Amino acid sequence: MELKATENQRMIADMVRDFGAKHIKPKMREWDESQEFPVEVFKQLGELGLMGVLVPTEYGGSGFGYLEYVTAIAELSKIDGSIGLSMAAHNSLCTGHILQFGNEEQKQKYLPKLATAEWIGAWGLTEPNTGSDAGNMRTVAVQDGEYWVINGAKNFITHGKTGNVAVVIVRTGEVGDSHGMTAFVIEKGTPGFSAGRKEDKLGMRASETTELIFQDCRVHQSQILGNVGEGFIQAMKVLDGGRISIAALSLGIAQGAFEAALAYSQERSQFNKPISSFQGIAFKLADMATEIEAASLLTYQAADMKNRGLNVNKESAMAKLYASEVSVRVANEAVQIFGGYGFTKDYPAEKYYRDAKLCTIGEGTSEIQKLVISRAILK
């Protein structure tokens, strides 16, 4: 088992750190406070090849694998979890769904625009009354000749307002039937398709989250990904890969919080010595470092398996579950190490603390991950 970073991973990590220092750090607090989605930053990330990391070069992407992808997300998230989240959602969900299940015409049409961030992508599964219970969705598509008429709403959609195109899973059959849902690619500006309310969030505030609303939205059958009735099954497979990206996001936030706390503990002096010299702080740092290392191993194991075409249903859920919970614990301890300053916005700990919590909720709660894992081991 090779644990050393590849040359491509080192190159990507250096590139992201340089980019973040110039284009993210100077504005991230402003974006957080105003809840601004900095679309121009994502256009620049597209120029660097980071908005189509997994997309083959023939479609305008970088053609990398999951090891490079995890590295890119983690390094971005060490700087700002919001930017890491939006980059991950664009790559794994909308772009990833089209890459995995689109026909050649659909790939040629959408992937070059998404891979370069000429277009920003959104992905819609969750609804107001069906979060974890996605199979019970109420957004419905009814066939009318060559078109499908969609009515309903999705919520908690990343890039729901700014996105140029969305992959949306809607019900085309009976409620609760896993083969009764279908995935459609819907472009911004399609009549009857609009963005609703933008959420005012605790954390990840520079990552846009809105409703999607469908009112007699007519979509041609050529916009269906795969076949009618395959949408839910496709979505579950997309989420297997997406959970690796959220594990990477969690890992980056945890690493960022740890590094900030470590540096502060060596600079902050009490009783005429650095607080890192006190066992109470040193043991916190030891626990944080150990859990981050374990989360990293789980995440990169899932990424390696995904690269090799293996089933990662259990392993991606394990990585996402553990890394997200570690992120919350590490961020919490970082605030504690900073003490009173950790509770102020003049220091970075509070933002890591607010951002980390989403990792235990988005793309499947920790409880859903345990359900996935337990089903896999009890087969």
Q: How many whole angstroms separate alpha carbon 169 and alpha carbon 101?
A: 13
The radius of gyration of the chain from alpha carbons, rounded to an integer in Å, stands at: 21
Among 75, 315, 350, 363, the one annotated catalytic: 363
Name the nearest CA neighbour of 85 among 216, 224, 208.
208
Asked if residue 120 lies in contact with residue 210, where contact means CB atoms within 8 angstroms, the answer is no
- 236, 360, 373 from 377: Cα distances, Å: 18, 21, 6
Collapsed DSSP state (helix, strand, coil) of residue 225: strand
Closest of 369, 337, 335, 373 to residue 352, by C-alpha: 335
22/82 Cα distance (integer angstroms): 16
Q: Count of residues for the chain? A: 379
Roughly what angle, to the nearest 10 degrees, separates helices 81-89 and 349-356?
A: 30
The answer to whether 355 and 252 are in contact (CB under 8 A) is no
User: What secondary structure does DSSP assign to 136-148, as a single string?
Assistant: G---EEEEETTEE
Q: How many CB atoms lie within 10 A of CB 106?
A: 18
Instruction: For residue 363, indicate whether it is catalytic.
Output: yes
249 vs 183: CA distance, rounded Å? 26
Amino acid at 29: R
- Using an 8 Å Cβ cutoff, are 255 and 74 in contact? yes
Cβ atoms within 10 A of the Cβ of 308, count?
10
Residues catalogued as catalytic: 363
